[in-house]
Structure 1
Amino acid sequence: MTENVSNRTFGWFETADEIITTAEGHTFTCRHVPTNRTYLLRVSTGEVKDGWRTPHNSALELPTVHATVAATAKLYSSSPPDRDFVPEPGGLILPEYHGVLDARYLVPVSAVYRRRGAIPFENLLSIPSALVHIFPFWENLWLLLTSETSLLATSAIPFDVWEDRWQHLVRGSELGRQLFREMPAGLSGRVATRIASIVNSQELGVGPSLEESSIIRLMIATAGKQVTKKQVEASLACPFFRMNTTVHDLHYAVALAALLQPQEWLFQSPLEWLGPTALIIPTIIDGLLAQPSAFPDDSSAFERCPPPDEATLTRFSLFLREPELTVRPYLTLQET
């Protein structure tokens, strides 16, 4: 029966090979598609026989997660609060579990450490994507987009230049849908059709739209003084933050950074167009150029993480486990 659930997708995940079978459950490799990171998914025999669509394994995994969290809590409480957490050589190695949020994001639930100064990724998710549309930067971005799009009517900007600058920002986003609804006057039908094709493209596959992305959320949080520049730097150096950084986020960051470069057709500087919120973009780019800090190799960069409470654990219906204890690379930008 397991062939019915291998190679199945749910949310931003897809299952692959079954690697372990026991009387109580089946373990599959499970890939988080937009980050290309693989985890282990264990589901009950009954659920496999039912041919699940979206897996729920809390009943099966919670006892193991509880045991891991209890051991984590013991490690946490055994170290004086004023001392950095440094693992003892040859000490207990615990599996890392993550709760799955909305079938899209991963939230660590058994970590004994976190990057000092980093903000939890789920804190960013508390910023509603609807808030983006009343964010001043969004209006500035819209004005720049429509200004440059209108220049296509007179060929003041070649279409391939426009496409290179905007394709990742309009593809599948509210920005693109708004452009499609309010196309500037004077564009040829051919140009409008090409823009519509880009807006509706699914080239990158599943992942966050521009307004949902961690890049825009970091910009909003910084502009609203909810986080500082140092917290942005620390967050992008935190493995638990970066495990949710998608290929879409990388494209958004690069595209937004490119808009900061002066162009001959702009009468004002890019910063005058986009406003001071854009000043955090270079910091984001710098963070995404590097791998996050590695634990325990860079243990001085980390602090102890208090274990989650029961309410935090029980809000998840699905848990995934890290497949190995080696450090796996995260998606990063490449310098050119």
Structure 2
Amino acid sequence: MSTTSQPNCSHISHFLLSGIPYLEDFNPWLGFFLISMYIVAVMGNSSILYIIRVDQELHEPMYIFLFMLSLIDLLLATTTMPRMLGIFWTDDRETKFSNCLTQMFFIHFLSALESGILVAMAVDRYVAICNPLRYSSILTSEKICKMSALILGRGALVMVPIPLIINRLPEWKSNVLSHSYCLHQEVMNLACGNIMVNVIYGLFIILSVMGIDSLVISLSYLLIIKTVRGLEDASMKAFSTCAAHICAVLVYYIPLIGLSVVHRFKNPTAPHLHILFGNVYLLVPPVINPLIYGIKTKKIRIGFKKVYNKIIHRVKTSRNI
């Protein structure tokens, strides 16, 4: 790194990623645990993608949105977990500045997409339970395409500036990150220049994307609860399908909000709390979501059984040949 006229500031060409504090001696075991999580995430989300694609009965709005969620989770896991394995197994902590910006964009972009899809799934359940007779007329294929395009466009529009406003910063106090991946809210705090633009824009994203999305999701489920209260068993059975969606929402938003709060208001009594929230926010949803939907959604369970029976049948047929 070449020093500049400002004390303790310099230009950098790379960042150094970190593992989990105080657990460095267990890095090989953490690597096995992480690769196990990655295998579960890849197999689980790939299975859901395959089942929904081949089963015509699952070509409904609810499962189309689930297909999108699984695809996003698969991409998010691939964006973070393989790079983390390099830290745990080979102590390869160095990442180029440009690679850090690229990973940063995809993490935040995919997070925005996941938030938008969770909103779409909440709206889908609201329409299905509160307006069942108009469900097919409201959530048409054309409207699903428009919603998907809106989610994709919003994610790209608000997240493209993030690496750009980081790249404009001239010098850095340090190049050591406390996370195992690159996040905007941490990288900006290492800069020597004026980061007011980064702070304001980061707060804008949290409020305008995740904040509004969480409010819409909360309102949708409150209206669903209000609708099904006191109704017959059929409606309560329909409401029970929302349990999977609520679990997915909680697994995603609780650590996300916690990470944002901790990064802005650090607690000296728990200096590594942001690392816990960051790992839960990025690593757990891609692993947990396929399990949640596989267990709680009846048609997905049936789809898994169909695929399993086909595989068993092919194996038996090949053996007989």
Per the normalisation by structure 2, the TM-score is: 0.28
Higher helix fraction (1 or 2): 2
Greater fraction strand: 1
